[in-house]
Amino acid sequence: MIESALTVDSTKFGTARIVSRRDFAEGLWVMRIATDFDLGYRPGQYCTLALPIGDRLIERPYSICSSPEEGEIELFIERVPEGELTVPLHRLEVGAEMPVRRRCKGLFLKEAPVEGQAHIFVATVTGIAPFVSCIRTLLRRLDRGEWSPAGRVVLLHGASVSSEFGYLDEMGALTEKFDWFEYVPTISRPWLDPEWPGERGRVEDVVRKYADRLELRPGSASAFICGNPQMIDNVKGALRRGGFEAAAVHEEQYWPE
Ligand SMILES: Cc1cc2nc3c(=O)[nH]c(=O)nc-3n(C[C@H](O)[C@H](O)[C@H](O)COP(=O)(O)OP(=O)(O)OC[C@H]3O[C@@H](n4cnc5c(N)ncnc54)[C@H](O)[C@@H]3O)c2cc1C
């Protein structure tokens, strides 16, 4: 645990230990943590990490990438320039410990998968986290014969350059394996990544193209959007103009606009 004179309320916080981390782009990493208590959650929920800094405990929410059926908690985090929590958090190595709130929260994806519907999931960079948790959980349920897809599940993922796609291999392999699943990573700065063979453009600029191409129609498809608030507004606007009802479009903003 980081050295601090601060007393952490043990009724509200338990301890998380970093068990592994994977760094793949400047300031972007996936880490797995183990808690010393049972952190129950649903796909789409977030946990709250904390670090004692000076005489304050700084807390921030992080969507969980792992399935609740996995033992450890997996998180995909971006270091924000001068960010109060992410700058010191990024320095922590495997074995480091930190306080974590005992309760996970959040209603995003509570309704997913929506019965009888196709799904369009849209994310920017770390906004893919809740969708990874949902998809990993659906695959386990599919294996056990507890769930079968009613339509396509399309995951549209935007980033500046391809090195920011922390789940490219995992989601790419699922696209190869299942005809009902399609992962579409798209980059907004192709001039910085000229070898990238995939889609180019911001997610908001290509969402209608993929909705049409993959036959995700208003009424038979539900949309879930997560990450950058500006992107969420733009994607919502594009889907609404395409005929999607407000009730069929769900969102999780990572920070206020
Ligand atoms: C429900 C929920 C789930 C979240 N899940 C994740 C997650 O899975 N992974 C993750 O990395 N973050 C996630 N966040 C954002 C996270 O909680 C923090 O806001 C972020 O890590 C910055 O914290 P900080 O203390 O370093 O920066 P601060 O000092 O609090 O922030 C500086 C400013 O940076 C802006 N900001 C915050 N995040 C970003 C960003 N990614 N890119 C650009 N600007 C930003 C905000 O406007 C903020 O005011 C989530 C937020 C919410 C509300």
Tell me the per-residue pLDDT of 167-197, one tens digit each, with 9 for 90 and over: 999 999 999 999 999 999 999 999 999 999 9
What was the pLDDT predicted at 257? 87
Average pLDDT over residues 15-19: 98
Q: How many CA atoms lie within 13 A of 24 on its CB side?
A: 18
Q: Is the CB of 77 under 6 A from ligand 1?
A: yes
Position 3 scores a pLDDT of 59
Q: Kindly report the CA angle at 96 between 32 and 71, in degrees rounded to 5?
A: 30
Q: What percent of the chain has pLDDT over 70?
A: 98
CATH 3.40.50.80 holds for 118-253: yes
Q: Cα dist. 229→67, 242, 243, 255 in Å? A: 25, 20, 21, 7
60 in ligand 1 pocket by Cβ < 6 Å? Answer: yes
- In tens, the pLDDT along 25-59 reads 999 999 999 999 999 999 999 999 999 998 899 99
Mean pLDDT of all residues belonging to the chain: 96
- Report the number of secondary-structure helices (H) and strands (E) in the chain: 5, 12
**For atom 53 of ligand 1, which residue has the closest CA?**
254
| Lookup result for tokens 């980059």 | 187
Cα atoms in the Cβ-side hemisphere of radius 13 Å centred on 215 = 5
Q: Is the pLDDT of residue 5 over 90?
A: no
Q: Is the CB of 84 under 6 A from ligand 1?
A: yes
Instruction: Reply yes or no on whether the pLDDT at 2 is more than 60.
Output: no
Question: CATH 3.90.380.10: does it fit domain 13-101?
Answer: no
Average the pLDDT over 140-155 and give the result: 96
Centre of ligand 1 from the C-alpha of residue 7, in Å? 25
Task: Judge whether residue 149 has pLDDT over 80.
Answer: yes
Q: Give the model's pLDDT for residue 145.
A: 97
Ligand 1 proximity of 187 Cβ (cutoff 6 Å): no
- Nearest residue by C-alpha to atom 40 in ligand 1: 80
pTM of the predicted model, to two decimals? 0.97
pLDDT exceeds 90 at position 7: no
CA of 149 to the centre of ligand 1 (A): 32
Do the Cβ atoms of 229 and 127 come closer than 8 Å?
Answer: no
Find the 147 Cα to ligand 1 centroid distance in Å. Answer: 33
Residue 218 has pLDDT above 90, yes or no: yes
Does 183 contact ligand 1 (Cβ within 6 A)? no
pLDDT tens profile 125-137: 999 999 999 999 9
Q: Give the domain ranges of the chain.
A: 13-101, 118-253
Residue closest to 171 by CA, chosen among 251, 65, 32, 34: 65
| pLDDT at position 4 | 67
Atom 2, ligand 1: which residue's CA is nearest?
254
Q: Is the pLDDT of residue 81 over 70?
A: yes
Point out the ligand 1 atom lying closest to the alpha carbon of residue 60.
17
